[in-house]
Amino acid sequence: MTTNEKLYFFWRKTKNNAMLVFSMACLLVAVTPLVLIFSYTLIQGISALNLDFFIQMPKPVGETGGGMANAIVGTGILIGLGALIGLPVGIMAGIYLAEYGDNPFAAATRFLADVLSGIPSIVVGVVAYIIVVLPMKHFSAFAGGVALAILMIPTVTRTTEEMIRLVPQSYREAGLAIGIPRWKTTLRIILPTALKGITTGILLAIARAAGETAPLLFTALGNRFWSTAIDQPIGSLTVFIYDYSKAPFEDWIRQAWGAAFVLIALIFILSVIFRIVTRSRYAEH
Amino acid sequence: MTRESTVIPIDVSTAGGGGSFPPAVAASVPHRSKVRWNVGDFVFKHLTMLFAFGVLSLVFLMGYEMYAGSALTITKFGWNFLATSTWDPVQDEYGALPLIFGTLLSSFLALLLALPLSIGVAIFLSELAPRWLERPFSFLVELLAAIPSIVYGLWGIFVLVPWLRQSIQPWLASHFSSLPFFKGPAYGFGMLAAALILAVMVLPIIASISRDVLQAIPNLQREAALGLGATRWESTKIILATAKSGILGATLLGLGRAVGETMAVTMVIGNRSEISASLFSPGYSMASVIANEFAEATSKMYTSALIEVAFVLFVLTIVLNALARLIVWSVTRRFKTT
Amino acid sequence: MRKLNIIIAAAAVLGMAVMPARAQLKLNGAGATFPYVIYSKWFDVYHTKTGIEFNYQSIGSGGGIKQVTEGTVDFGATDGPMSDAQLKEAAEKQGTEVLHIPTVMGAVVATYNLPGYTGDLRLTPDVLAGIFLGDITKWNDPKITEINPGKTLPDVAIIVAHRSDGSGTTYIFTDYLTKVSKAWETKVGKGGSVNWPVGLGQKGNEGVSGIVKQSEGSIGYVELAYAVKNNMPYASLKNKAGNFVKASFDAVSAAAEGALANMPEDFRVSITDAGGKNSYPISGFTWLLVYKSMKDKEKAAALVKFLRWAMTDGQSFARDLYYAPLPAQIVKLVEKKISTIETK
């Protein structure tokens, strides 16, 4: 190599190494906020959590102590309602797309489901207000459930479709070969096989719904009392965090961090489960 | 499946209503003229189709409800709604321009900050990292996307804003005082805080999808480049050129998320409906105004104005998402190996 | 099949959850954040006493008025009285009149964050208006230093905090500023939600006090109870008679004296910028908005019982929480009004 060539090669090598360093730096910068947020929430949240937090009801404004028992149950009920409405719709639609989905109608549905998943949750809240709260004439857990269901549907639909498509063709053929009608094959053979993956998709959708605040602001509203009724306003972890975070009361801020920690822990655990299950799924096929 | 003599007495033509079969099965079964039409199949197929139709119509239903709900302000203001700046609930005068400005400015700033980082992350994860490193870090990046907006907002109020107010903004003000972007008192809250939080929130989306796009490109291209003596980075450059449109799609998806982000932005943006060149000044976004004012819009006109803002947001995110999906879908389809 | 059974069981459980709603009487209300401190105390005590739940969401006076108009709540609360037009709309939509029931009186104070500043901060109406108009931008502006002789004010920018939601507190505050400042009257005016010339917005009294507590050099207007509960300093204001008065329940009661003579029948009255040497200039009533004739008579009866309790036992909580109890004459008038609410 001539000196020029050597120099040029060295220059290319340097660029290569520089880019390696740069991209690694990017990764570190990207991961830093995650670490910061997670650890800050952990530190603030753990110290805030005591038995009271999980068992007690909120105290009057300005008084210390109390907890978020009603909010925790509220979040559970809201997710439950959302799942009750959204899961059947999503799973059935997903089955249709996977089993009968080679036509333009299905393509349009698939496309719109993806588009639906990108709609801001506040917009979904506005729609839920218009179609549920106004006719019912009051805020309710049901309205919140409807909003969450709309948010869950796209994720559940697409995951169900993907998971069913992953089931090998041979299963279908085997079922048909021994004379089982198409629909029974789908329900009794295909679906159970895909169930593990579908369940994790559902868990993901639930994780997303559990963290939602905006759509609940004017559907489920909030409730400082213990309430499990569907036709009444209901408190939720996320709205409580929002209300408490704006206030100057130290004790409220402490509780807000506690609730944030509970949320993050929940989502983290569900994400890990999803990762483990789908990894093994992909490994199998 | 090449056997000729299967004993399934089913007509694979679609005329029988028994459902269409995946092509592989259909091709291998001999055609018969006798149809065994199963009630169960018919019901099941159409039941699932009904639900799929429900999902399809959901988008249209939402659009319709919001369009109908904003009839009052649409008739009163027409297109001026998007062009005027006065948001005055007392006088019932509504102009959404500052809101649109706030949404777009915070989102584009966020993209500006997040895009280079995301591409760097995607390159590292897809091209340069060894498998044992790539898996956990990919997971970590995706975890960032799963953190709820409210937690970002909480962290924003108690960590980011004070840091901005006490350290960053004074530094920027003293070093770049000539630029119009850094004028005004150091509130901490404001456009800069919103843009930073949004940047952290869209980064995982753009990074994950870009990584998927890069991984979808067949190794052939990389091997060809490397075989000709290119360095790792040079072959990556070539891959990037191919992945350009996919990355564009990922960016649009990230933009879509930034535009619709509500809680984190509302908690740090300062909630002021005005247009200002300075990043230090408080602003307002479309999603924030709905979150703040919807529960108390006292007049029909006010409610209609807010629903119209929701409708604009709806249309904006649909356009961005549709564009993005089309682009990403076309890129990954090009390289699907099945 | 097993899945189906689980689903049915879950639905049954959920269905049963709806049942208990009837056993305990629950009323839903929403509105002002101004009286939230005392309302939350009242509802908590009353619940322990009678078991009836009053679920109150502090979403701002604007929210209270809207939800009462739409009929999505059983009662509302506001510190900015409903206008004639709003009352008309509510009456049309709900088929019954909406009544303003005053509960307590409170003060809107200018709370600030100036670490290192000790003692009292004095403000005059002009200076207050100037700060919120954006004309006075630094704490050591001569206009502020000249009314606070002997004190050093820092060379720091003033960060103004105001409400971002429809607020009765804003109504009372801007009502006062409109009365004392021509510039404010022309530029901004009064209302629950106005076009603020400067400042950061946040939701609720909680939000504004939150910003002030967090940000050095900030000033915001909040109800007295919020400032006290958070150990935040607040300014003393020059009243109409020329005295610098710090907000307290006595000063608020003094402000209400003038209103006693001319109390309108529907209780919608403003007591800002009141005469009297000890009056606090930014005082106001806060009202509960109730329907004259509710569809659910059982709820109406419960509401009436609660209101009567609020007028008697309830008033004793006011002072401890930095609100002023209603003057005796007004309590008599309110009780007469309460008896017009239909409970049969």
Tell me which chain C residue has its CA closest to the CA of residue B191: C200
Closest Cβ opposite residue C164 in set B165, B190, B271: B271
* pLDDT category of residue C5 using cuts at 50, 70 and 90: low
For C207-241, write each residue's pLDDT tens digit.
899 889 888 899 999 999 889 888 999 999 999 88
> Mean pLDDT over residues A245-258, rounded?
84
| Residues B43-75: tens digit of each pLDDT | 888 888 999 998 889 999 999 999 998 898 888
pLDDT in tens, A127-169: 999 999 888 877 889 999 999 999 999 989 988 998 898 888 8
Task: Please report the pLDDT score of residue A131 as a whole number.
Answer: 92
Q: What are phi and psi of C59, to 5 degrees?
A: -110, 5
* Percentage of chain A lying above the pLDDT 90 cut: 21
- Chain B residues lying within 8 Å of C191, measured CB to CB: 89-90
From the list B90, B185, B293, the residue facing C165 with the nearest CB is B293
Q: Look at residues A200, A276, A282 and name the one whose alpha carbon lies nearest to residue B136.
A: A276
Q: Do A247 and C206 touch (CB under 8 A)?
A: yes
Contact yes or no for C163/C32 (Cβ under 8 A): no
DSSP state, residue B21: P
Rounded CA gap, A166 and C110, in Å?
64
A135 touches chain C (CB under 8 A): no
- Strands C122-123 and C75-78, sheet pairing: unpaired
In degrees rounded to 5, what are phi and psi of residue C244? -85, 115
Task: Report how far apart, in Å, the C-alpha atoms of C211 and of each of A239, A256, C163 are.
Answer: 19, 16, 11
| Contact residues, chain B to chain C, C-beta under 8 Å | 86-90, 157, 161-162, 165, 185-190, 270-272, 282, 292-293, 295-298
B86 contacts C62? CB cut-off 8 A: no
Q: According to the model, what pLDDT value does residue C260 have?
A: 79
Question: In this complex, is the C-beta atom of C200 within 8 Å of any C-beta atom belonging to chain A?
Answer: no
Calculate how close chain A gets to B183, using CA atoms only, in Å.
26
The interface predicted TM-score of the complex, written ipTM, equals 0.86
How many Cβ pairs closer than 8 A exist between chain A and C? 96
Mutate to test the interface with A, among C33, C44, C165, C215 (most CBs of A within 10 A): C44
- Give the full edge-to-edge strand order of the sheet including C218-223: C53-58, C26-31, C75-78, C283-291, C98-112, C218-223, C159-163, C200-202
- C198 touching A, CB under 8 A? no
Angstroms from A243 CA to nearest CA on chain B? 11
In A, minimum Cα distance to C3 occurs at: A192
| Residue A208 at interface with chain C, using a CB cutoff of 8 Å | no
Query: Would you state the torsion angle of the CA atoms of residues B137, B140, B145, B150, taken in this order, to the nearest 10 degrees?
Result: -150
Residues C18, B336: Cα–Cα separation, whole Å: 51
Q: Using CA atoms, how far apart are residues A234 and A223, in angstroms rounded to an integer? A: 5
DSSP string, A90-131: HHHHHHHHHHS--SHHHHHHHHHHHHHHTS-HHHHHHHHIII
Angle at C150 between CA C146 and CA C153, to 5 degrees: 70
Please tell me which residue, A240 or B334, carries the higher pLDDT value.
Answer: A240
- Residue A205: the pLDDT is 87
Residue A18: count of CB within 10 angstroms of its CB: 11
Tokens found for residue A265: 């822990």
- Per-residue pLDDT, averaged over A32-47, amounts to 87
The verdict on a CB contact (< 8 Å) between C55 and A231 is no
Q: In this complex, is the C-beta atom of B69 within 8 Å of any C-beta atom belonging to chain A?
A: yes
CA distance to B328, C240, C339, per residue, from C237 (Å) = 62, 10, 39
Comparing alpha-carbon positions, the chain A residue that sits nearest to C44 is: A60
Phi, psi of B325 (to 5 degrees): -60, -40
Report DSSP state, residue C221.
E
What pTM does this model have?
0.83
Contact partners for chain C, using 3 or more CB pairs closer than 8 A, are A, B
Question: B33 or C300: which carries more pLDDT confidence?
Answer: C300
Alpha-carbon gap, residue C272 to B87, rounded angstroms = 27
Length of chain A: 285
CA angle, C161 then C162 then C163, to 5°: 140
Pick the closest to residue A41 from A253, A213, A251 (CA basis): A253
Locate C95 and state its tokens.
């088929």
The DSSP code sequence of C62-101 is: HHHHHHHHHT-SSEEEESSPPPHHHHHHHHHHHSS-EEEE
Whether residues B295 and C59 touch (CB distance < 8 A) is answered with yes
Report d(CA C163, CA C58) in Å as an integer: 14
Q: Which residue has the higher pLDDT, B163 or A54?
A: B163
Tell me how long chain C is.
344
Strands C200-202, C75-78: pairing is unpaired
Interatomic CA distance for residues C260 and C274, integer angstroms: 12
The answer to whether A57 faces chain C, any CB pair under 8 Å, is no
Provide the 8-state DSSP code for C195.
-
Cβ-Cβ contacts under 8 Å between A and B: the total is 290
Q: Say if the Cβ atoms of C202 and A81 lie within 8 Å.
A: no
**Contact status, residue A159 vs residue A207, Cβ threshold 8 Å:** no
Q: Using alpha carbons, list the distances in angstroms from residue A281 to A163, A272, B146.
A: 9, 14, 21
Indicate yes or no: CB of C214 within 8 angstroms of CB of B161. Answer: yes
The Cα of A263 is separated from the nearest Cα of chain B by a number of Å equal to: 8
Task: Identify the sign of the CA torsion B263, B265, B267, B270.
Answer: negative
The mean pLDDT of A64-88, rounded to a whole number, is 88
pLDDT tens-digit map of B145-190? 888 999 999 999 889 998 888 888 888 888 887 787 887 777 888 8
Closest by Cβ to A16, choosing from B152, B232, B291: B232
Q: What pLDDT does residue B10 have?
A: 42
pLDDT of residue B319: 92
Chain B residues 25-54 within an 8 A CB cutoff of chain A: 25, 38, 40-41, 43-45, 47-54
